[in-house]
């Protein structure tokens, strides 16, 4: 009996320290007329508990350190217990000495299908494929933590990106779309494999430099803007060698509005070369770059 009590105590303590993420889960059923809403309320609650209570790392996170994120699941069709959906994953982190949260990830995954029955247990097993629902959600939890780590130290999120890569490798056997190289250049396969490829090290370094610039803003706004500019110019050099790279688009999907805001006010710095670089790096956002003004 004493062993059981000790085990329960350790389990509770582990859960208390297991809250790396503060994630809002939303299951949108507007495209499913006459669906049993109780099932989806249960799914939303189960996913929220799974994401926010699973121990994703060995670190002890203070409540203020938890990564703010969200997952918006839009269900488009279903047949019995099989669902087709999209999932939009967003994350952010606080800039030092401020109340401002900078976006880190804003990604829409259109290849999300899964089986689910009400009250189904959701358990993450890194070495086995339990379900596509668990694998996709666990993949993005580790991706969020990995990208967050990259903003604080150079390649600081590698451990968690490698876990996400392992999830993708294990899930390939399932036959679900999004895990395989053959599923297209914007699949989960390429999302994590590119992040870990040596050819993309400069892009990850630019992300670190960008966020370290943001973290200087409370001390020296002009120097901070110059550092952010340097990071984007470095990203421009990377883009010149890999034009229209998938990860470059992922970066700007999260950062484009923020970049316009940073360079449209405050201390003036030269921006002509920056705007030219941004137009080459991310031509899809050219309508935004014209709004950058000193």
Model confidence over 234-273: pLDDT tens digits? 999 999 999 999 999 999 999 999 999 999 988 999 999 9
Asked if 138 and 274 sit in the same domain, the reply is no
Per-residue confidence (pLDDT) for residue 150, from 0 to 100: 97
Asked if 109 and 221 sit in the same domain, the reply is no
pLDDT at 17 over 70: no
Structural domain of residue 114, as residue ranges? 15-196
Asked if 22 and 155 sit in the same domain, the reply is yes
**Strand ranges inside 95-131, DSSP E:** 101-115
Residue 224: partners with Cβ closer than 8 Å, 6 or more residues away: 213, 214, 215, 216, 217
Asked if 235 and 98 sit in the same domain, the reply is no
Q: Which of 196, 231, 248 is the last residue of a domain?
A: 196
Q: With respect to residue 204, please indicate whether it lies within any of the assigned structural domains.
A: no
Q: With respect to residue 156, please indicate whether it lies within any of the assigned structural domains.
A: yes
Across residues 2-31, what is the average pLDDT? 62
Across residues 82-88, what is the average pLDDT? 97
**What is the rounded distance in angstroms from the CA atom of residue 245 to the CA atom of residue 12?**
44
Closest Cα to residue 259, out of 208, 293, 284? 293
| Three-point CA angle 16, 91, 164, nearest 5° | 75
Query: Lowest-pLDDT range, 52-66, 73-87, 133-147, 157-171?
Result: 52-66
Q: Residue 25 carries which DSSP code?
A: E
Number of compact structural domains in the chain: 2
Asked if 36 and 151 sit in the same domain, the reply is yes
Asked if 94 and 191 sit in the same domain, the reply is yes
Per-residue confidence (pLDDT) for residue 4, from 0 to 100: 36
Assign 60 a pLDDT band (cuts: 50, 70, 90). confident
Asked if 192 and 219 sit in the same domain, the reply is no
Q: Residue 225 carries which DSSP code?
A: H
Q: With respect to residue 10, please indicate whether it lies within any of the assigned structural domains.
A: no
* Long-range own/partner contacts, residues 48-53 (CB < 8 A, 24 or more apart): 48/23, 48/24, 50/122, 50/124, 50/134, 50/137, 51/21, 51/23, 51/25, 51/137, 51/141, 52/19, 52/21, 52/22, 52/23, 53/15, 53/18, 53/19
Q: Beta strand 21-28 with 67-79: parallel, antiparallel or unpaired?
A: parallel
Asked if 30 and 149 sit in the same domain, the reply is yes
Q: With respect to residue 2, please indicate whether it lies within any of the assigned structural domains.
A: no
Q: With respect to residue 1, please indicate whether it lies within any of the assigned structural domains.
A: no
Asked if 167 and 29 sit in the same domain, the reply is yes
Which conformational region is residue 153 in: left (phi greater than 0), alpha (psi within -120 to 50 degrees), or beta?
beta
Across residues 172-179, what is the average pLDDT? 95
**What is the rounded distance in angstroms from the CA atom of residue 222 to the CA atom of residue 265?**
11
- Between these two residues, 174 and 8, which has the higher pLDDT value? 174
**What is the rounded distance in angstroms from the CA atom of residue 167 to the CA atom of residue 184?**
18
Please, what sign has the CA dihedral across residues 277, 279, 280, 281? positive
Residue 39: partners with Cβ closer than 8 Å, 6 or more residues away: 116, 118
**What is the rounded distance in angstroms from the CA atom of residue 39 to the CA atom of residue 81?**
10
- Between these two residues, 10 and 227, which has the higher pLDDT value? 227
Q: With respect to residue 209, please indicate whether it lies within any of the assigned structural domains.
A: no
Asked if 140 and 37 sit in the same domain, the reply is yes
Q: With respect to residue 239, please indicate whether it lies within any of the assigned structural domains.
A: yes
Asked if 40 and 72 sit in the same domain, the reply is yes
Asked if 144 and 273 sit in the same domain, the reply is no
Per-residue confidence (pLDDT) for residue 1, from 0 to 100: 38
Across residues 69-96, what is the average pLDDT? 96
Across residues 158-172, what is the average pLDDT? 97
Annotate 159-206 with DSSP letters as a single string: HHHHHHHHHHHHHGGG--TTSSGGG-TTSHHHHHHHHHSGGGHHHHHH
**Average predicted confidence (pLDDT) for the chain:** 92
Q: With respect to residue 207, please indicate whether it lies within any of the assigned structural domains.
A: no
């Amino acid at each position: 009996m004493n062993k059981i009590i000790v085990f329960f105590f350790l389990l509770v303590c582990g859960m208390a320290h297991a809250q790396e993420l503060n994630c809002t889960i939303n299951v949108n059923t507007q495209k499913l007329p006459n669906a049993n809403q109780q099932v989806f309320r249960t799914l939303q609650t189960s996913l929220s508990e799974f994401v926010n209570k699973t121990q994703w790392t060995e670190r002890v996170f203070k409540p203020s350190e938890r990564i703010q994120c969200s997952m918006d699941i839009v269900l488009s069709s279903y047949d019995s217990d099989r669902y087709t959906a999209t999932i939009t994953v967003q994350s952010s982190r606080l800039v030092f000495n401020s109340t401002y949260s900078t976006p880190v990830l804003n990604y829409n995954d259109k290849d999300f299908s899964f089986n689910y029955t009400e009250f189904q247990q959701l358990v993450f097993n890194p070495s086995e494929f339990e379900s596509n629902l668990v694998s996709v959600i666990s993949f993005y939890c580790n991706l969020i933590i990995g990208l967050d780590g990259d903003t604080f130290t150079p390649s600081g999120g590698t451990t968690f990106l490698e876990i996400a890569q392992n999830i993708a490798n294990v899930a390939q056997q399932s036959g679900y779309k999004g895990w395989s190289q053959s599923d297209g250049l914007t699949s989960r396969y390429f999302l994590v494999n590119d992040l870990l490829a040596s050819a993309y090290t400069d892009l990850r370094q630019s992300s670190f430099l960008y966020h370290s610039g943001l973290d200087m803003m409370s001390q020296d706004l002009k120097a901070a803007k110059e550092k952010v500019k340097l990071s984007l110019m470095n990203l421009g050099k990377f883009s010149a060698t890999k034009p229209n790279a998938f990860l470059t688009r992922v970066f700007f999907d999260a950062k484009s509005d923020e970049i316009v805001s940073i360079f449209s006010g405050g201390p003036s710095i030269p921006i002509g070369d920056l705007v030219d670089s941004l137009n080459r790096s991310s031509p899809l956002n050219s309508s935004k770059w014209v709004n950058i003004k000193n």
